[in-house]
Amino acid sequence: MADKTLSFMRSLCMGNIVEEIIFPFPKIQESEKELLKTTFDSIGGWLQSKETEFKKWDKAGELPKEFLEEMKQMGMFSFVIPEEFGGLGLTSSGYSRTIQELCKYDGSVAITAGAHSSIGMRGLLLFGTDSQKQKYLSKLASGEMIAAFCLTESTAGSDAAGIKTKATRDGDSWILNGEKLWITNGGIADFFTVFAKTEGLEGQMTAFIVTRDLPGVSAGPHEDKMGLRASCTTTVNFDNVRLTQEHVLGEVGKGFKVAMKILNVGRTGLGGGSIGAMKKSIHLASQHAKSRQQFGKNISEFGLIQQKLGHMVVECYVSEAVVSMVAGLSDRGCEDYAVEAAISKVFATECLWRTIDEALQVAGGGGYMSEYPYERIMRDCRINRIFEGTNDILRLFIALTAMNDVGAQLKEVAHSIGNVLQDPIKGFGVLSEYARKRVSYATGFGKATLSQSHPTVKEQAEVFEDCTKQLASFVDKMLRKYGKNIVGHQFATRRLADVMIDLFALASVLSRVTAAIEEKGVEATKREREILQVFAGQVSRRVRSNFNKIDDNDDQQITSLALDAVEYEGYRWDTI
């Protein structure tokens, strides 16, 4: 059993493969599987019957009140709430699988239920006091209260620490003022997790539970959006709202930590949703390819169609491995999986974007018509790469966490080397583990190994080991090249993030395929091994290419062109 405080990816960047964290591949428990099957049977039939309505509501830009009532009755707000409060008490794995199921029917419905459970009320589960839980959880489970997460403001999106909403002390109370922007469920929620700057603690943020019945709470009109149109997105306003200590969620001044933890734990919801939409896209595209005839043949017989479908399957399987792995880490009580959770969000949302793009291409002109579901899935899923942390910001977080860890170790290395010079015997004793690895990597002898993957996938396990070795050189080389200024070098940081994303995905799929072979045998897993072969090949090529680009790139020219476009406010070279 691995140390629960260890992160797989942070350890990997230090040159350690902590296999116990990712083997065996996490499984949904049998009892929970039964519960999920019953739940999916009941919601599946109901949602299937609404297919034409979903299309209508997407156009209208709203879910009708009666349907929201049905959602409550069907238990769509109860997924992650413990049974003692009337909820289903799903694990992260079970919850992620449930959002996946909803996304097969409609994105707006999935986000309405998902924003409630993933982020709206998650803070209460994670940080609420007993009395706060007693007061709200049953109402949140029944849907009597729908929840929303209120962080973003007009001047504070990615830079969440820059919010201006303020809670000012007034005796024992707090007075809350401010406006939150683009809040999912804003117009239908009664329970808001709100982040505000608190006075006295300069620049610090505190999380509050705010309910709609409090004087001064109001919501703006529905925003007209590109996708997820029927989900309710509004501003939420707080005008001199009086709060007490009972409304404080977590510790005063620790709101930023609360926000980040909620987003982190909630990521498997968005990941699950992306997989659901990928499965639906693959179903639609393969069905179309099988029946559509051109040039006297089914289009499925053409290589270019096969190439698309094959890649869609690979991306879906690997995404499912990554998201399930992260849900498993959460369920096992791992304490540090923020980097892995961020990776799962970036990976799954981008795979979905490519998958629906290719599915639409397979459908040809029909894919562009609202008569068919492709264009709606595409509009609905575009936001996934933006909300709950843009994929750009998450890439920076992924890579800079690694650089920070290694940088700290390097300081120790420098210190140890100083000691070695002053007192060779004592000095070698303190030469850090990381320094030892660096030396062995540099001399070509050392290699972290993966021993728990199945022998039949040895070749792909070796790809992972080789790439891990390259990762260590990558981090080292970047730190030597940029030092403390790495934060200002985002092109390079992105490359490191992409290598880390690929390696976690490869580790997850190695673990998944190993579990499949152990369960079903080598013969029965031919296709899964093919997926692994394809993906390992892609990872190997991408890692090598990213590594080469540390020194051989066009970053300077691209920067210069971008800055010029910004100065000119557009493209310079019109032909007339």
Ligand X SMILES: Cc1cc2nc3c(=O)[nH]c(=O)nc-3n(C[C@H](O)[C@H](O)[C@H](O)COP(=O)(O)OP(=O)(O)OC[C@H]3O[C@@H](n4cnc5c(N)ncnc54)[C@H](O)[C@@H]3O)c2cc1C
Per CB under 6 A, 35 contacts ligand X? no
- Locate all alpha helices (DSSP H) within 143-251, ordered by sequence: none
Stretch that binds ligand X, among 143-151, 246-254, 474-482, 559-567 (CB under 6 A): 143-151
Cα–Cα separations (whole angstroms), residue 144 to 136, 183, 407, 478 = 10, 19, 50, 53
Per CB under 6 A, 256 contacts ligand X? no
Looking at the DSSP bridge assignments, the partners of residue 526 are: none
C-beta of residue 181 within 8 angstroms of C-beta of residue 233? no
Per CB under 6 A, 208 contacts ligand X? no
Stretch that binds ligand X, among 279-287, 381-389, 500-508, 554-562 (CB under 6 A): 381-389
Label residue 570 left, alpha or beta by phi (over 0 means left) and psi (-120 to 50 means alpha).
left
CA dihedral 44, 47, 51, 57 (to 10 degrees): -150
- Can you tell me which of 149, 208, 353, 441 binds ligand X, judged by CB under 6 A? 149
Looking at the DSSP bridge assignments, the partners of residue 149 are: 193
- Can you tell me which of 374, 387, 397, 464 binds ligand X, judged by CB under 6 A? 387
Length of the chain: 576
C-beta of residue 102 within 8 angstroms of C-beta of residue 79? no
Stretch that binds ligand X, among 151-159, 264-272, 407-415, 565-573 (CB under 6 A): 151-159
Q: Clarify whether 246 is annotated catalytic.
A: no
Per CB under 6 A, 115 contacts ligand X? yes
User: Min. distance of Cβ 72 from ligand X in angstroms?
Assistant: 19
Per CB under 6 A, 237 contacts ligand X? no
Q: Which residue number has the CB closest to ligand X?
A: 157
Provide the angle, in degrees to the nearest 10, between the axes of the packed helices 107-114 and 65-73: 60
x-marked contacts with ligand X along 464-503 as a string, rule CB under 6 A? --------------------------x-------------
Q: Give the number of other CB atoms < 10 A from CB of residue 521.
A: 9
- Can you tell me which of 157, 253, 310, 427 binds ligand X, judged by CB under 6 A? 157
Per CB under 6 A, 80 contacts ligand X? no
- Angstrom distance (rounded) from CA 233 to CA 187: 7
- What's at 243, amino acid-wise? L
Backbone angles phi, psi at 320, to 5 degrees: -65, -35
C-beta of residue 528 within 8 angstroms of C-beta of residue 317? yes
- Can you tell me which of 2, 6, 260, 393 binds ligand X, judged by CB under 6 A? 393
Backbone angles phi, psi at 539, to 5 degrees: -60, -45
Residue among 388, 412, 465, 530 flagged as catalytic: 388
Per CB under 6 A, 228 contacts ligand X? yes
Sequence-distant (≥ 6) Cβ neighbours of residue 473 within 8 angstroms: 441, 547
Among residues 343 and 507, whose Cβ is nearest to ligand X? 343
x-marked contacts with ligand X along 161-190 as a string, rule CB under 6 A? ---------------------xxx------
Stretch that binds ligand X, among 44-52, 147-155, 248-256, 449-457 (CB under 6 A): 147-155
- Can you tell me which of 150, 196, 282, 499 binds ligand X, judged by CB under 6 A? 150
User: Min. distance of Cβ 298 from ligand X in angstroms?
Assistant: 38
User: Min. distance of Cβ 223 from ligand X in angstroms?
Assistant: 7
CA proximity to 397, closest of 271, 500, 484? 500
Within 13 A of 431's CA, how many CA atoms are on the CB side?
Answer: 16
- Contact footprint for ligand X (CB under 6 A): 115, 148-152, 157-158, 182-184, 225, 228, 233, 383, 386-387, 390, 392-393, 490
Active site (catalytic) residues = 388
